Amino acid sequence: MTVENVLSAPARTIEPHDPFIEEFVDPDADPAGGPAAASLEQERQDAATRRSAVKPIVAVLKQPTLVASILVLALVTLWALVPSWFTAWDPIVGVPQDRLLPPSTEHIFGTDNLGRDLYARVVYGAATSLAATTVAVVVGLAVGSLFGLLAGFLRGFVDDAIMRFMDVLLAIPSLLLSLALITALGFGTLNVAVAVGLASVASFSRVMRAEVLQIATAVYVEAARVSGVRWYTVLRRHVLPNASGPVVALAALEFGVMVLAISSLSFLGFGAPPPTPEWGSLVAGGRDYLAVAWWLTTLPGLVIVAVVLSANRISRALERNGGVR
């Protein structure tokens, strides 16, 4: 064997043609930037995207109480949106001979003193109760967040004036404050919702202010202000999106509190007039029949308790994960 034969590169062995191998492995392709490398990188990115999308779902499924809470609120929401899917009974018109029937397969929650199906009244009452609660949450969230945002960002005299006013609101019990506002606004479901929402303004304002005070000193916020960006633009683009997480978690918690508050005011007679079904008024209507028809107050009350506990469980999950950002 000569020296030239030793130093020269061996000839490439000709392998049988395999299109499948050629599609994925090209011995002449650049491993750093060839088509196969680009395809492999794209597959890795797609797999990472799928894992990131599935990960929150898996985390939720590992918490049975959270799953149950989500299902309860989803069911109640469907009650409010499409009540006819869940019952064929009329919530207003009753059958006199069926009055005060206990729960059975025909009447799941029994009947009231006028022969009306109680389950149908609970299902149809979800629309009124949840609509009022949603209005209350929106009012409290919007007004409270606005005051907290201005107080935390502008500081100085504006901060002192707003927060001293919020301290006054916090010194008054929320139910008493709601009653005072209802006296000024008048009776009715909408007025009850607005009153309950205004009574919760102080809680939203304090949480928003605390978040804004932390974010307002961040480097990117200071850089935006030094570069000449208008203050309201800084609030809208930088401060508000980053401060909204804990406020959203508080809104979920306040949703359950407001369901209870609106039901309490409806129980006292400040809500929708009869015969409109509303959860609080259903509990109030059965208190005179506790000795003979326990289901008239117990079953609507359990629905209220389930909704409040579910909202509280979801709010704790949001708070544990830093809110929704």
How many residues would you count in the chain? 325
Q: How large is the average pLDDT for residues 223-228? A: 78
3-state secondary structure of 218: coil
Selection from 198, 244, 243, 190 nearest residue 216 by Cα: 243
3-state secondary structure of 111: strand
Name the token pair of 87: 């019952």
> Would you list the domain boundaries of the chain?
130-320
Q: Give the predicted TM-score (pTM) of the model.
A: 0.76
- Count the Cβ atoms, other than its own, within 10 Å of residue 215: 17
Give the span between the Cα atoms of 205 and 153, in whole angstroms.
Answer: 12
Interaxial angle between packed helices 240-267 and 174-185, expressed in degrees from 0 to 180 and rounded to the nearest 10 = 80
- Given this model, what pLDDT does residue 222 score? 77
Homologous superfamily of domain range 130-320: MetI-like (1.10.3720.10)
Phi and psi angles of residue 117, each rounded to the nearest 5 degrees, phi first: -70, 120
pLDDT digits (tens, 9 = 90+) for 109-165: 999 988 999 999 999 999 999 999 999 999 999 999 999 988 888 888 988 999 999
Phi-psi bin for 115: left (phi > 0), alpha (psi -120 to 50), beta? left
For residue 253, name the pLDDT band (cuts at 50, 70, 90). confident
Give the span between the Cα atoms of 319 and 315, in whole angstroms.
Answer: 6
Selection from 293, 286, 282 nearest residue 126 by Cα: 282
Q: Which residues pair with 117 in a beta bridge?
A: 111
User: Lowest-pLDDT range, 14-18, 81-85, 218-222, 289-293?
Assistant: 14-18
Selection from 133, 139, 140, 145 nearest residue 73 by Cα: 133
- Planar angle of CA 312, 316, 318, nearest 5 degrees: 115
Q: What percent of the chain has pLDDT over 90?
A: 36
**Residue listed under structure tokens 């935006």:** 224
Q: Could you give the C-alpha distances from 158 to 119, 153, 209, in angstroms and in order?
A: 51, 9, 12
**Residue listed under structure tokens 């359950």:** 256
pLDDT digits (tens, 9 = 90+) for 179-201: 889 888 888 889 999 999 999 99
Name the token pair of 181: 């506002």
- Count the Cβ atoms, other than its own, within 10 Å of residue 41: 11
Q: Could you give the C-alpha distances from 320 to 244, 247, 306, in angstroms and in order?
A: 15, 13, 21
Torsion angle, alpha carbons of 123, 267, 171, 168, to 10: 80
Give the span between the Cα atoms of 158 and 34, in whole angstroms.
Answer: 61
Q: Which residues of 179-300 form beta strands (DSSP E)? A: none
For residue 24, name the pLDDT band (cuts at 50, 70, 90). very low
Is it the case that residue 13 has pLDDT exceeding 50? no
For residue 224, name the pLDDT band (cuts at 50, 70, 90). confident
Burial of 192 per CB tally in 10 Å (0-12, 13-18, 19+): buried
- Count the Cβ atoms, other than its own, within 10 Å of residue 243: 27
- Given this model, what pLDDT does residue 321 score? 66
Give the span between the Cα atoms of 262 and 306, in whole angstroms.
Answer: 15
Give the span between the Cα atoms of 87 and 63, in whole angstroms.
Answer: 31
Give the span between the Cα atoms of 144 and 128, in whole angstroms.
Answer: 24
Mean predicted lDDT score pLDDT of the chain = 81
